[in-house]
């Protein structure tokens, strides 16, 4: 439905003593890429937060296929395949500079009202922004 790509160069502090990007750091990369996808659609997570809506992650799953090394250039390809209702689910792929698939993953978030700390349905603005984006970009 909607695809976004984020390019990242691996930082020194992201690599462990095996010389690989520390496996826990991919969750951070996926986060950056989700933010980029939402921004492309016209939604800024910072603005949602200023409206007291936060998006905690409720599920993440990663299959690691190959390591990534310091200074490597990677692409995080993130897809939103379904219109979000009470959850928003993303598919992720990390690809290195040799066009090899490094890992595949998915992550799911919910929308939470900061004041009640309870889940809420997806904000209307998100639906309308996604529909508007899809109308103007046939993918």
Q: Which is nearer to a second copy, 20 or 127 (CB)?
A: 20
Q: How far is the CB of 135 from a second copy (least distance, A)?
A: 27
Q: How far is the CB of 54 from a second copy (least distance, A)?
A: 5
Q: Which is nearer to a second copy, 1 or 7 (CB)?
A: 7
User: Which stretches of the chain bind a second copy, using CB under 8 A?
Assistant: 11-13, 15-20, 22-25, 27-28, 31-32, 35, 44-46, 49, 54, 56-65, 67, 70-71
Q: How far is the CB of 10 from a second copy (least distance, A)?
A: 10
Q: Which is nearer to a second copy, 70 or 133 (CB)?
A: 70
Tokens (6 digits) for 11:
């930082």
Q: How far is the CB of 5 from a second copy (least distance, A)?
A: 16
SS (H, E, C) the chain: CEEEEEEEECCHHHECCCCEECHHHHHHHHHHHHHHHHHHHCCCHHHHHHCCEECCEEEEEEEECCCCECCCEEEEEEEECCCCCCEEEEEEEEECCCCCEEEEEEEEEEEEECCCCEEECCCHHHHHHHHHHHHHCCC
Q: Which is nearer to a second copy, 62 or 125 (CB)?
A: 62
């Amino acid at each position: 439905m909607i695809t976004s790509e984020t390019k990242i160069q691996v930082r020194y502090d992201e690599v462990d003593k095996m010389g690989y990007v520390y496996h826990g750091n991919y969750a951070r990369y996926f986060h950056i890429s989700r933010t980029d996808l939402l921004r492309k659609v016209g939604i800024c997570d910072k603005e949602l937060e200023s409206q007291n809506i936060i998006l905690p992650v409720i599920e993440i799953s990663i299959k690691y296929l190959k390591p990534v090394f310091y200074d490597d250039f990677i692409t995080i390809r993130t897809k939103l395949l379904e219109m979000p209702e009470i959850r928003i689910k993303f598919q992720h792929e990390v690809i290195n500079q040799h066009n090899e698939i490094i890992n595949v993953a998915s992550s799911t978030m919910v929308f939470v009202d900061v004041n009640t700390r309870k889940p809420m349905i997806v904000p209307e603005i998100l639906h309308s922004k996604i529909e508007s984006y899809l109308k103007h970009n046939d993918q």
